[in-house]
Amino acid sequence: AEVDLEQAPLKYAGLSYTEIWISEAQERMVLAVPADCWPEFSVLCTSEGVEATVIGRFVPTGRLQLKFHDQQVGDLAMEFLHHGRPAVVREAVYAPPPVIPQTLPQVARDFTPTLTKILGSLNVASKEWVIRQYDHEVQGGSVVKPLLGVANDGPSDAAVVRPVLSSRRGVVVACGMNPRYGDFDTAHMAASAIDEAVRNCVAVGADPRRIAILDNFCWGDTDRPETLGSLVRAALACHDLAVALGIPFISGKDSLNNEFRYTDRGERRSIAIPPSLLISAIGQVADVARCVTMDLKQPGNLLYLVGFTREELGGSHYNLVESLSGGRVPTVDAAAAKRTFTALHAAIDAGTVRSCHDLSEGGLAVAAAEMAFAGGLGAQIDLDGVPAEDAAPSPIVALFSESNTRFLCEVPRERAGEFESRLADVTHARVGEVTNSERVELFWRGCEVVSGGLAALKEAWQAPLGW
């Protein structure tokens, strides 16, 4: 390739050719455009207010040649660039910590205070103050907004926008992340983040066949074999689940070596961030009129739990607020997830679902509470109907397990048969109904284990970050 460095647009004059070549200035891309397509591409960029410049061309010389004002300032063989440097070899080791079993009592008690504490925990609490700092109505294309419901303050699973206002097609943006799972196994943390990002897209109506994902790895010092090992394990999990779901990674970034080093009484110490992976997902909706939101809509409608509940409380918010340790971290059944995403999308696209919310931090109890106070309607749920690996799960598992690939759906009674038919090949069960009581009530073996008024639950959720 030949590159004419003087053609590169500069933010200010006076840069040397070395600075132009190695600068890491942001918001730039290099594209390979066929010569006969350049006029059309140039017009497209101009129409969008994007500066585009031809800076070079591919030539069959096998060399990378840099020029600056007709003077050659760089010349390297492509063979050297690709194969002339020794590969970096690093040591990576990883051993997941042993699973410490939890003993969960099979006893009915009032879990309303626990639910209230989870709603007020910082990872779950309302982020409205932060969200309102940004005008998400720029260009007027929003369909499903970050905050929604009767008071426009409920937590949306994803955002949907119409980038072309003359079209009904929509773009869905969502994310998934839970660093607490990385304390148990970074592979399951990575898989769970992917599952959460995808199910957030599906929950509002995205076609799972039209979803792509991006990664953002934030890690400690990867010169340590155990730290690098945890990163490699997470990356392998990303590969395996993306392939299994047929959902491609289209981009990503990393921020490694996030550590603070200091000296304490003459001894060098280091504090590292926990292994963290943010998965962002972008999807498509063929017709934004078919999108659904998470706020409850109509008293008398039925509530269905889609997905399988396991005793997976490792890294959960139940354990966090109760200061407990141990338990199994949530895992992902890739085959079941793919079937579930496909079936639920078909049900949503057919119009059988009025509202849908994914189950994540805090499990079923938090999802039900959020749907209720967002819609200003009550919910009554029988935990005995929850599909679970244990025929009689503990109320703690039924309420607060954070098992992946689960949704709580509101379905009109007259569409229940069609909804169940479309989900015939995936785990689902009717667990309750929408009420006009303005209370969230959950029962286990005939005993009421959660009973909270919407106002109190919403206040607990909004208060921590209600600046």
Q: What is the per-residue pLDDT across 189-208, written as a single tens digit (0 to 9) for each? A: 999 999 999 999 999 999 99
Question: Cβ contacts of residue 136 below 8 Å, gap of 6+?
Answer: 142, 145, 146, 159
Residues 268 and 391 in one domain: yes
Length of the chain: 467
Give the domain-ending residue among 44, 67, 83. 83
* Statement to judge: residues 359 and 272 lie in one domain: yes
pTM as predicted = 0.90
Reported confidence tier of residue 216, pLDDT bands at 50, 70, 90: very high
Strands 407-411 and 302-306: antiparallel
Which residue would you say has higher pLDDT here, 417 or 266?
Answer: 417
pLDDT for 72: 97
Assess whether 332 and 444 both reside in one domain: yes
Q: How many domains does the chain have?
A: 2
Burial 253-267 (b: 16+ CB within 10 A, else e): eeeeeeeeeeeeeee
Q: pLDDT at position 138, please?
A: 85
The answer on pLDDT for 3 being more than 90 is yes
Does residue 466 have a pLDDT over 90?
Answer: no
28 and 118 both lie in a single domain: no
Question: What is d(CA 227, CA 223) in angstroms, rounded to the nearest whole number?
Answer: 7
Check residue 306 and give its pLDDT: 99
**Residue of higher predicted confidence among 439 and 261:** 439
Q: Are 277 and 215 in contact (CB under 8 A)?
A: yes
Q: Does the residue 98 lie in any domain? A: no
The verdict on residue 107 lying in a domain is no
Per-residue model confidence as pLDDT tens digits over 109-159: 999 999 999 999 999 999 999 999 988 888 889 999 999 999 999 999 999
Confidence (pLDDT) at 177: 98
Residue 370 and residue 300 share a domain: yes
Q: Is residue 46 part of a domain?
A: yes
Which residue blocks in 87-177 are alpha helix, DSSP H?
112-120, 128-131
Q: Do 187 and 119 reside in the same domain of the chain? A: yes
Residue 40: its pLDDT value, please?
A: 98
Q: Are residue 400 and residue 357 in the same domain, yes or no?
A: yes
Same domain? 120 vs 61: no
Q: How far is residue 116 from each of residues 110, 318, 402, measured CA to CA in Å?
A: 11, 11, 17
Q: Per residue in 312-355, pLDDT tens?
A: 999 999 999 999 999 999 999 999 999 999 999 999 999 999 99
Say if 88 falls within a structural domain: no
Range of the domain at 199: 112-462
**Shortest CA distance to 193 belongs to which of 328, 348, 315?**
315
| Of the residues 67, 83, 99, the one at which a domain ends | 83
- Are 331 and 400 contained in the same domain? yes
Q: Flag whether 400 is in a domain.
A: yes
pLDDT for 343: 99
DSSP 97: P
- CATH code where residue 282 lies: 3.90.650.10
Residue 421 forms part of a structural domain: yes
97 in a domain, yes or no?
no
Beta strand 154-155 pairing with 447-453 = unpaired
Residues 347-401 have pLDDT tens digits of 999 999 999 999 999 999 999 999 999 999 999 999 999 999 888 889 999 999 9
